[in-house]
Amino acid sequence: MIVLDISNIDINGDILLIDKPLRWTSFDVVNKLKYLIRQTFNLKKIKIGHAGTLDPLATGVLIVCVGKCTKQIPEIQTLQKKYTGTFTIGATTASFDLEKPIENTLPYEHISLQDIQNARLSLTGEIEQIPPVFSALKINGQKAYTKARQDEDVQMKARKVNVYQFDTSRIELPEVDFEITCSKGTYIRSIARDFGQILGCGAYLSSLRRVAVGDYTIDNAFDFSPFIDINRTHKGKKKDFEL
C-alpha cells in the first residue's frame, strides 16, 4: 500500500482513495486531510468531501474528493460497495456491532452449515432493510444516532436495498466470515442483525472492511497510518464541504 504524499495532491481537482483507520470517523479523515492540504499549500480554504461514510469501527476504502472533483461525489455515492468481515452469532448489541456492549446471549451450538447457507440466501437479492438507530440517517433534521444516544425512541423505516453477492468463507462458530457486494445505502450491521434473527440466535458485526467502491479498490488505496499519531481533529466548520 502506498503512503500518501500530501504534496502530490492536485488541489484543483483530485480523487483520493484512503484506507480509513480503525476508530476514525470519515469526518476525522476529511478534516485531517483538509488541515494537511491547507498547511502544505498555504491555503485558507479548500473544497473537500468524502463520497460515502464508513463507520468508526470499519476500515477500508474511503473516497475523498478535492477541489472540482467534489462535483463527482453524488455520482460516486451511487456505486456498489464490496465488504469483507465477520459476523458473530449467539449474541446481540444495540448498535448491531461492537460500538455498544453485548446485551443478550443465546445458544448457537445447534446451528448447522445448512442453516447458515439458508440465512445467507434469504438475505441475497432485493431485500427490505431497517437501518440501525445508531446511524447518520436524519430524522426530522437530526441524526438518528444523536437521538438514540439521548435514549429517545427512534423508529427507523424499512427501505429496499440490493445485496448482489453474499458469500461465506470461514465458518468457525460463533464466527462467520463473509464477502458482500451491495447497493448504495445498505447497512452491513443490519444484515448482521437480520442474519441472527433468521438463525434465531442473534448476531452482531464484529469486524468490517470495505474493499471496493465500484472500480475503486483497496489495492489502490493510500496508507493513512503515518498520519494517525498527528492530532486527529482540527477546529473548523463541519459545513466546509464535509459530505
Question: In sequence order, which ranges of the chain are alpha helices (DSSP H)?
Answer: 26-41, 73-77, 113-122, 144-149, 188-199
Least confident stretch, 72-76, 116-120, 148-152: 148-152
CA distance 67 to 90: 47
pLDDT value for 228? 80
Pairing of strands 203-213, 58-67: parallel
Taking alpha carbons only, the member of 184, 175, 180 closest to residue 210 is 180
Pairing of strands 2-3, 222-223: parallel
Three-class secondary structure assignment of 9-33: CCCCEEEEEEEECCCCCHHHHHHHH
Marked catalytic residue, from 19, 55, 97, 194: 55
122-159 confidence digits (pLDDT tens)? 999 999 999 887 766 666 666 666 656 666 666 778 99
pLDDT value for 139? 64
Give yes or no for residue 234 having a pLDDT over 50: no
pLDDT value for 240? 34
CA distance 128 to 198: 14
Give yes or no for residue 91 having a pLDDT over 60: yes
pLDDT value for 133? 78
**Cell numbers 460500538 label which residue?**
99
Give yes or no for residue 236 having a pLDDT over 60: no
Give this prediction's pTM: 0.89
Do residues 82 and 98 make contact, with C-beta atoms less than 8 angstroms apart? no
pLDDT value for 37? 96
pLDDT value for 174? 98
What is the pLDDT of the chain when averaged over all its residues? 90
1-49 confidence digits (pLDDT tens)? 788 999 999 999 999 999 999 999 999 999 999 999 999 999 999 999 9
CA distance 10 to 151: 44
Do residues 135 and 187 make contact, with C-beta atoms less than 8 angstroms apart? yes
Residues of 132-160 as b/e, b for ≥16 C-beta within 10 angstroms?
bbbbebebeeeebbebbeeeeebebeeee
Do residues 175 and 87 make contact, with C-beta atoms less than 8 angstroms apart? yes
**Cell numbers 442474519 label which residue?**
195
CA distance 121 to 109: 21
Q: Is residue 177 flagged as an active site residue? A: no
